[in-house]
């Protein structure tokens, strides 16, 4: 059965899912049957079309298959650019291992420079601005507040799921606070 026929005969996922359809199939290779998983992903460039990704590791979930394929595709694009545009393998006609290694290093350096230029022309923020942006995002809550929230959640979960009194829960929380290191305890008590 063809991939198109499989796609048309099965129910697709609705909404903004990362994939449209996932189907288990059997692939025949040299007379042997191999179980595989076919994941149909929407083509970003043409919304009406789909791309098929096949994996013989049927234990992987669909999102992992898509992630691994994305990494492999980036590597394919890298080598295509290096071979086609940066002349990897065409500029150097030497039989010296050192010369070939040096040429490969020069081509890869060209690629890194082009990638950096592409990133800087598409993203207006500098690395410093990106750092400040992410550190501002992370500073929404201090670690003391986080610790206090965790202790409060512990108390609530103990009250909901264990058959013990509030006095016992307070005693457990006090025992926990007594067991933590002195430096951490002093910082929590001053907060």
> Can you tell me whether residue 125 is helix, strand or coil?
coil
In a domain, 133, yes or no: no
Band (pLDDT 50/70/90 cuts) for residue 134 is: low
Q: For residues 148-152, give the mean pLDDT.
A: 83
Q: Considering the chain, what percentage of its residues have pLDDT values greater than 90? A: 18
Q: Given a cut of 90, is residue 129 above it in pLDDT? A: no
In a domain, 22, yes or no: yes
In a domain, 170, yes or no: yes
CA distance to 35, 42, 58, 64, 113, per residue, from 61 (Å): 14, 17, 8, 5, 36
Q: Given a cut of 60, is residue 47 above it in pLDDT? A: yes
In a domain, 43, yes or no: yes
Task: Check if the beta carbon of residue 26 is closer than 8 Å to that of residue 58.
Answer: no
CA distance to 74, 117, 118, 127, 151, per residue, from 123 (Å): 19, 10, 9, 10, 41
In a domain, 110, yes or no: no
What residue numbers bound the domain in which 14 lies? 3-59
The residue among 134 and 171 whose pLDDT is bigger is 171
Among 27, 80, 79, residue whose Cα is nearest residue 56:
27
> Can you tell me whether residue 80 is helix, strand or coil?
helix
What is the number of structural domains in the chain?
Answer: 2
């Amino acid at each position: 059965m063809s991939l198109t026929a499989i796609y048309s005969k099965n129910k697709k996922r609705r909404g903004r899912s990362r994939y449209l359809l996932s189907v288990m199939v059997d692939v025949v290779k040299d007379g042997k049957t191999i179980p595989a998983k076919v994941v149909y992903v929407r083509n970003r460039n043409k919304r009406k079309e789909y791309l098929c990704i096949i994996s013989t590791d049927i234990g992987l979930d669909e999102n992992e298959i898509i992630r691994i394929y994305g990494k492999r595709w980036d590597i394919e694009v890298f080598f295509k650019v290096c071979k086609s545009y940066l002349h990897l393998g065409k500029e150097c006609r030497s039989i010296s291992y050192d010369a070939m290694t040096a040429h490969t290093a020069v081509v890869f350096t060209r690629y890194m420079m082009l990638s950096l230029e592409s990133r800087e022309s598409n993203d207006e923020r500098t690395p410093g601005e990106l750092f400040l942006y992410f550190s501002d995002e992370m500073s929404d809550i201090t670690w003391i507040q986080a610790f206090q929230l965790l202790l409060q959640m512990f108390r609530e979960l103990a009250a909901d799921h264990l058959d013990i009194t509030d006095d016992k829960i307070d005693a457990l929380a006090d025992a926990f606070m007594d067991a933590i290191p002195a430096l951490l305890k002093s910082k929590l008590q001053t907060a």
